C-alpha cells in the first residue's frame, strides 16, 4: 500500500500526485516509470516518475485522465492508499554530456520530458526545452521547465500563448536558424513524436523518443508492449521506453494503441454506470 501525500490539478484533466514509495524514490533514474494499481481488482497502469524526494520517501507522478483507471486515480485524495506502486521500471534515459540538447514535450508528455531535461542539465548539457499544448489552459509545467532549461520556448496550436503552431514547427525553425543541436528528446502524442523525427532525420540529429504502448505485466513476460524498432521487435517495458526515434515504426504503435479501444470504452461506460467513483 502506498499513501497519497498530495494531489493537485495542473489543468482541467491533468493531475499531479505525490505518493509514498521510499525504495523507488531512492533508486529511480530519469526515464523510468512505475506501475500503479488503485485497488486490488484494478488494472495496472504505467506512469512516468516525474520527480522523487529521497528524504520524504515520495515520488511524483503526473497523469492525464483518459479512461477508467486514470479516472479512479484522480478520484483518490491525500490520505487514501494506492494498492501497489511497483518500480522503478524500464531503462533509464542514457544521459551523457552531448552538448546542446533539445527536449520537446507535448501535452502530458511535458511531465515525462521534465526529468529527462533535468538530468541532461545536471550532466552539464545546454538544455533548450520546447513545450506545447493545444491551448494555454492545458499547458503544464512551464515554470518547472523554465527553471531547469537554458532556454524555454512555449507553443500552442491555437496561438493563445507563446508561438502559434506545433512544437515540431518551433524545432524546425531552430534547426533552420543554424543553431547547433547535438541530440533531441521528444515525448508526447505519437503523431507529435513522429513529426519531430521527420524534422530531425534530414538534419541528421539523433532523436530519442519515449514510447507509451499499452502494457500489462511491465516485466517483459506478456509481449503486450512490443514495438518495432529498425528490424527488431522490442519490449518497451524492459528494452525501453526510450528508443531511437528514427527507427521506430510509429504506424504499428498507433494501431496497437487502438487495439482495445472498444473494451476501454465499455469499461469506462460500465464504470460510469455502476461505480461510486472508487
Ligand atoms: C512507460 C509509460 C509511461 C507513461 N507515463 C505516463 C505519464 O506519466 N502520464 C500519463 O498521463 N500517461 C502516461 N502513460 C500512459 C498511461 O499509462 C495511460 O494513459 C493509462 O494506462 C490509461 O489508462 P486508463 O484505464 O485510464 O485508460 P484506458 O481505458 O486504458 O484508455 C482510455 C484512452 O486512452 C488511450 N490509452 C490507453 N493506454 C494508453 C497509452 N499507454 N498511451 C496513450 N494513450 C493510451 C486509449 O487508446 C483510450 O483512448 C504512460 C505509458 C507508458 C507505457
Ligand atoms: S508489458 Fe508485458 S512484456 Fe512489456
Is the pLDDT reported for residue 273 higher than 70?
Answer: no
pLDDT tens-digit map of 63-114: 999 988 999 999 999 999 999 999 999 999 999 999 999 999 999 999 999 9
Is the pLDDT reported for residue 201 higher than 70?
Answer: yes
How much is the pLDDT for 258? 78
Mean pLDDT of the chain: 93
Distance from the alpha carbon of residue 252 to the mean position of ligand 2, in angstroms? 16
Is the pLDDT reported for residue 22 higher than 70?
Answer: yes
Q: Mean pLDDT, to the nearest integer, of 224-251?
A: 95
How much is the pLDDT for 37? 96
Is the pLDDT reported for residue 278 higher than 50?
Answer: no
- Our answer on whether the CB atom of 237 is closer than 6 Å to any ligand 2 atom is yes
Q: Mean pLDDT, to the nearest integer, of 122-126?
A: 97
Tell which one of 66, 239, 240 to mutate to probe ligand 1, the residue whose CB is within 8 A of the most ligand atoms: 66
Q: Which ligand is nearest to the CA of 15?
A: 1
Q: Which ligand is nearest to the CA of 140?
A: 1
Q: Mean pLDDT, to the nearest integer, of 161-189?
A: 96
Is the pLDDT reported for residue 165 higher than 70?
Answer: yes
Is the pLDDT reported for residue 268 higher than 90?
Answer: no
CB 243 within 8 A of CB 208: yes
* Ligand 1 atom showing the smallest separation from residue 46 Cα: 17
Tell which one of 59, 62, 212 to mutate to probe ligand 1, the residue whose CB is within 8 A of the most ligand atoms: 212
Distance from the alpha carbon of residue 183 to the mean position of ligand 1, in angstroms? 26
Is the pLDDT reported for residue 216 higher than 80?
Answer: yes
- Least confident interval from 72-86, 187-201, 223-237, 259-273: 259-273
- Our answer on whether the CB atom of 233 is closer than 6 Å to any ligand 2 atom is no
- Our answer on whether the CB atom of 193 is closer than 6 Å to any ligand 2 atom is no
Is the pLDDT reported for residue 158 higher than 60?
Answer: yes
Q: Mean pLDDT, to the nearest integer, of 14-19?
A: 98
Q: pTM value?
A: 0.92
- Our answer on whether the CB atom of 235 is closer than 6 Å to any ligand 2 atom is yes
Strand 163-164 relative to strand 151-156: parallel, antiparallel, unpaired?
parallel
How much is the pLDDT for 277? 47
Tell which one of 44, 214, 217, 227 to mutate to probe ligand 2, the residue whose CB is within 8 A of the most ligand atoms: 217
Q: Which domains does the chain have, with CATH numbers?
A: 2-89 (2.40.30.10), 100-210 (3.40.50.80)
Q: Which ligand is nearest to the CA of 225?
A: 2
3-class DSSP string for the chain:
CEEEEEEEEEECCEEEEEEECHHHHHHCCCCCEEEEECCCCCCCEEEECCEEECCCCEEEEEEECCCHHHHHHHHCCCCCEECEEEEEECCCCCCCCCCEEEEEEECCHHHHHHHHHHHHHHCCCEEEEEEEECCHHHCCCHHHHHHHCCEEEEEECCCCCCEECCHHHHHHHHHHCCCCCCEEEEECCHHHHHHHHHHHHHHCCCEEEECCCCCCCCCCCCCCCEEEECCEEEEHHHHCCEEEHHHECHHHHHHHHCCCHHHHHHHHHHHHHHCCCC
Is the pLDDT reported for residue 272 higher than 70?
Answer: no
How sure is the predictor about 271, in pLDDT bands with cuts at 50, 70 and 90?
Answer: low
Q: Whose CA is nearest to atom 2 of ligand 2?
A: 222
Distance from the alpha carbon of residue 236 to the mean position of ligand 2, in angstroms? 7
How much is the pLDDT for 97? 97
How sure is the predictor about 263, in pLDDT bands with cuts at 50, 70 and 90?
Answer: confident
Amino acid at each position: 500500500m502506498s499513501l497519497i501525500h498530495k494531489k493537485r490539478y495542473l489543468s482541467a484533466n491533468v493531475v499531479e500526485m505525490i505518493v509514498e514509495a521510499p525504495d523507488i524514490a531512492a533508486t529511480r533514474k530519469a526515464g523510468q516509470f512505475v506501475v500503479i494499481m488503485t485497488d486490488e481488482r484494478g488494472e495496472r497502469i504505467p506512469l512516468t516518475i516525474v520527480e522523487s524526494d529521497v528524504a520524504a520517501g515520495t515520488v511524483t507522478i503526473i497523469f492525464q485522465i483518459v479512461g477508467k483507471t486514470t479516472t479512479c486515480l484522480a478520484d483518490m485524495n491525500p490520505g487514501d492508499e494506492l494498492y501497489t506502486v511497483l518500480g522503478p521500471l524500464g531503462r533509464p534515459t542514457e544521459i551523457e554530456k552531448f552538448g546542446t540538447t533539445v527536449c520537446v514535450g507535448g501535452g502530458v508528455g511535458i511531465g515525462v520530458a521534465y526529468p529527462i531535461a533535468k538530468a541532461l542539465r545536471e550532466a552539464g548539457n545546454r538544455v533548450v526545452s520546447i513545450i506545447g499544448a493545444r491551448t494555454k489552459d492545458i499547458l503544464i509545467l512551464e515554470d518547472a521547465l523554465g527553471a531547469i532549461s537554458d532556454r524555454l520556448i512555449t507553443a500552442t496550436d491555437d496561438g493563445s500563448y507563446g508561438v502559434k503552431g506545433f512544437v515540431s514547427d518551433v524545432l524546425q525553425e531552430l534547426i533552420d536558424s543554424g543553431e547547433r543541436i547535438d541530440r533531441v528528446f521528444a515525448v508526447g502524442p505519437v503523431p507529435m513524436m513522429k513529426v519531430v523525427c521527420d524534422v530531425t532525420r534530414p538534419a541528421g540529429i539523433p532523436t530519442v523518443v519515449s514510447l507509451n504502448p499499452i502494457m500489462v505485466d511491465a516485466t517483459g513476460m506478456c509481449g503486450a508492449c512490443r514495438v518495432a524498432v529498425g528490424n527488431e521487435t522490442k519490449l518497451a517495458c524492459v528494452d525501453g521506453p526510450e528508443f531511437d526515434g528514427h527507427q521506430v515504426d510509429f504506424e504499428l504503435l498507433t494501431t496497437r494503441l487502438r487495439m482495445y479501444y472498444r473494451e476501454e470504452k465499455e469499461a469506462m461506460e460500465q464504470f460510469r454506470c455502476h461505480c461510486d467513483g472508487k
